[in-house]
Structure 1
Amino acid sequence: MVKITDVARHAGVSPSTVSYALSGKRPISEETRRRIAASIRELGYRPHAGARALAGSRSNVLALVVPLRPGIHVPVVMGCAVSVVTTARRHGHDVLLLTQEEGEEGLRRVADTALVDALIVMDVQLHDPRLPLLRSLGRPSVLIGFPAEPAGLTCVDLDFKAAGELCVERLAGLGHRVVALVGSPPEVYVRRTGFAERVVRGFTAAADRRGLVSAVHPCEATPAAARRVAERLLREQPALTGVVVHNEAVLEPLIDAFERLGLRVPGDLSVTAICPDELAASLRVPVTSVALPSAELGERAVELLMGKLAGAEVPEATLLAPRLTERATTRPRAAP
């Protein structure tokens, strides 16, 4: 267990100075306070919940809570994280990155140490167990994602339901009547992650509205799983001519699998995706896609947090409208 003497030695101050920083009984310089805060953070020292003096003035540190759970596509998450860090730096803040799956305990640990001014939380589930604690903490927070009941929270995200609808509408507009969604890995749906479920809702709603035959298939993030899903789709939906992919890791392997099964993209099969623009544009066959605006989401989250820290009124819900870019994988359905 880390002791106050360990913190003092690490920060190059006396134990009494650390105690004063935590208790607020005597003033200390801002430079010393920040050095002590950095040592506490690095060593993992946990002061008693009542030791709040470090919270009495700003730490200029934001916590970014991004648990790297199974099924998470790390490049997309890290793109958002980099945007959070660079935007926070423009506002004179550092970022403490928390990647462990600690749930409420991780949030409480950060709050109890009083080392951060505010929190940004990612990978939000529809019924996220962290929400009651977030609502009760005395620190501003922003969620990148929407739970089922977002009242009283500040949330920002791509409108994933509209993104699913937009992909289907594009395929339907090109004459495709049998479509499928190749979705996120199964564990993402088991957790009831908000963005994945909203894509399914949008896809299904648009397909039903247009009178299309549709199916949804979760897919593990491996080339072998992509091949299995392609084979299953053609076995179960032999008239399939349109596919929406919401799984960045299998986008290229899936197109390859369909082509090995004898379908030309886009001659026989049109493909749209919800993924980063740079990925869609860089593939062997550039993919028509709705952009995942990771950089904008990170920037918006920090700007909302800065507004809350300044005491300004900010919107509870910020939904970014989806934007579809036409590329080489879509064309009108061939006449039967």
Structure 2
Amino acid sequence: MATIDDVARRAGVAASTVSYVLSGKRSISPATRSRVEAAIAELGYHPHAGARALASARTQVIALMVPLPMAPGTSTLRPDVDVNVLMQFVAGIAPRARSQGYDVLLVTDDDPGAAERVWAGSTADAIIAMSVQAEDPRTEALARAKMPAILIGLPEDPHGLSCVDFDFENAGRLAVRHLAGQGHRHIVMVGPPATTFERRMSFAERIVRGMRETAASAGVKFSVVPTAARRDAVAASLAPVLDRDDRPTALVVHHEAALPSVLDVLRDRDWHIPGDISVVAVAPPSIAEQQAAPLSSIEVPAQAIGATAVDMAMAAIRGEGTSETRLVRASLTDRGSTAKPSA
């Protein structure tokens, strides 16, 4: 098992420098910190938790708040909770935290008081909060917390907290500009369940705002069809718009779990992509590429955003930096699933 002296020798520094990097008690140059962190990762060094806490008064834990609300009167998650998407962010958070010598404590309570319980109980050195609402009741409590707090999301009022997220509004604008540029005059966004909009989830409101404003400027008809992920639900939700004489000529699917069902519904109608209808998916490349016909897509880089949230938390723990908002700009990968609408 590697020791602190082994790390020091590998990094070419004194053992005390390694200790300062771990505790954050002194400012260490970025170059030296990088060498020490690389040596820790290479050797698999894990400082003794008890000694580490006594020496630094730190827990070496980041609390990750991922609300997982239950459906009323049941022990199952609400249908608007997409665990697969949430885990994409966690897959970026956990490895980056581990590389910094930190563990991740999962907090799934959607009660705003959960934030206060975390910092009041000194169970973590920082908090990362996910599933942010436009008017999120947790932000005030997090702003009062006696520890750094980072939001993965962008509420209307962050209360001075640092935020990192995908630029969903820009993604919406990009999708509409791409389709309008091909001549589409009627676009529908297939979105998450209605409860997502009722809860005013920040990501959903921002992508709709970007699409609606851009569509209005371009003279394009635009509407949103919320749906559950089940195939029958998707078919029922889409039927009223697809059966119209002035049906949409393009769909933007911003509901990863429902995407296969959307494509099934189009196949049931014997509609071909992009000959009969164009489709843009807001989804990871792995999902967009694995469809029978690869889909043009806008990727939400969830793992990278999760890792960035950890970096921001670590900087705040060290007393570096100030409150900031980082938005990852969107890009569209054209895989041929959109084209000029048929006459």
TM over 0.5: yes
- 1:131 equivalenced with 2:143 (yes/no): no
- State the distance in 1 between where 2:292 and 2:275 align: 15
1:86 is matched with which residue?
95
1:330 to 322, 327, 338: 338
- 1:250 equivalenced with 2:243 (yes/no): no
Q: CA deviation at 1:267?
A: 0.6
Displacement over 6 Å in runs of 4+: none
2:37 is matched with which residue?
none
1:96 is matched with which residue?
105
User: Percent of aligned positions with the same letter in both sequences?
Assistant: 37
- State the distance in 1 between where 2:89 and 2:318 align: 23
- 1:77 equivalenced with 2:86 (yes/no): yes
The CA RMSD over aligned residues, in Å, is 1.9
SS of structure 2 residue aligned to 1:266: coil
- State the distance in 2 between where 1:200 and 1:96 align: 33
Question: Do 1:76 and 1:276's aligned partners in 2 also have CA atoms closer than 8 Å?
Answer: no
SS of structure 2 residue aligned to 1:132: helix
- 1:197 equivalenced with 2:205 (yes/no): yes
Name whichever of 213-222 and 86-95 sits farther off. 213-222
- 1:321 equivalenced with 2:335 (yes/no): no
**Aligned residue identity for 1:266:** P
- State the distance in 2 between where 1:292 and 1:127 align: 22
Change (3 A) 1:32 1:231: closer
**Aligned residue identity for 1:108:** E
Q: CA deviation at 1:156?
A: 0.3
1:184 to 168, 184, 192: 192
Question: Do 2:241 and 2:247's aligned partners in 1 also have CA atoms closer than 8 Å?
Answer: no
Q: CA deviation at 1:274?
A: 1.1
- State the distance in 2 between where 1:312 and 1:236 align: 57
1:169 to 174, 177, 189: 177
1:158 is matched with which residue?
166
**Aligned residue identity for 1:328:** G
After TM superposition, list the pairs within 5 Å mapping 1:1-336 onto structure 2: 31=48, 33=50, 57-69=57-69, 70=78, 71-101=80-110, 103-236=111-244, 238-334=246-342, 336=343
2:20 is matched with which residue?
none
Q: Which runs of 5+ in 1 are unaligned?
A: 1-29, 38-53
**Aligned residue identity for 1:129:** P
Change (3 A) 1:32 1:299: closer
Q: Normalized against structure 2, the TM-score is what? A: 0.80
Name whichever of 324-333 and 234-243 sits farther off. 234-243
Q: CA deviation at 1:319?
A: 0.4
Q: Which runs of 5+ in 2 are unaligned?
A: 1-46, 70-77
**Aligned residue identity for 2:87:** M
Q: CA deviation at 1:278?
A: 1.3
Name whichever of 134-143 and 247-256 sits farther off. 247-256
- State the distance in 2 between where 1:276 and 1:34 align: 42
Question: Do 2:143 and 2:159's aligned partners in 1 also have CA atoms closer than 8 Å?
Answer: no
**Aligned residue identity for 1:224:** D
- State the distance in 2 between where 1:175 and 1:261 align: 23
Question: Do 1:307 and 1:314's aligned partners in 2 also have CA atoms closer than 8 Å?
Answer: no
Change (3 A) 1:227 1:195: same
Q: Normalized against structure 1, the TM-score is what? A: 0.81
- State the distance in 2 between where 1:88 and 1:213 align: 45
Map Cα deviations across residues 2-22 of structure 1 (whole Å, 9 max, x no partner).
Answer: xxxxxxxxxxxxxxxxxxxxx
Question: Do 2:184 and 2:249's aligned partners in 1 also have CA atoms closer than 8 Å?
Answer: yes
Question: Do 1:230 and 1:258's aligned partners in 2 also have CA atoms closer than 8 Å?
Answer: no
Change (3 A) 1:282 1:34: farther
Map Cα deviations across residues 49-94 of structure 1 (whole Å, 9 max, x no partner).
Answer: xxxxx89711110001111243121111111112101000111111
Name whichever of 141-150 and 230-239 sits farther off. 230-239
SS of structure 1 residue aligned to 2:243: helix
- State the distance in 2 between where 1:227 and 1:170 align: 26
Q: CA deviation at 1:315?
A: 5.0
SS of structure 2 residue aligned to 1:312: coil
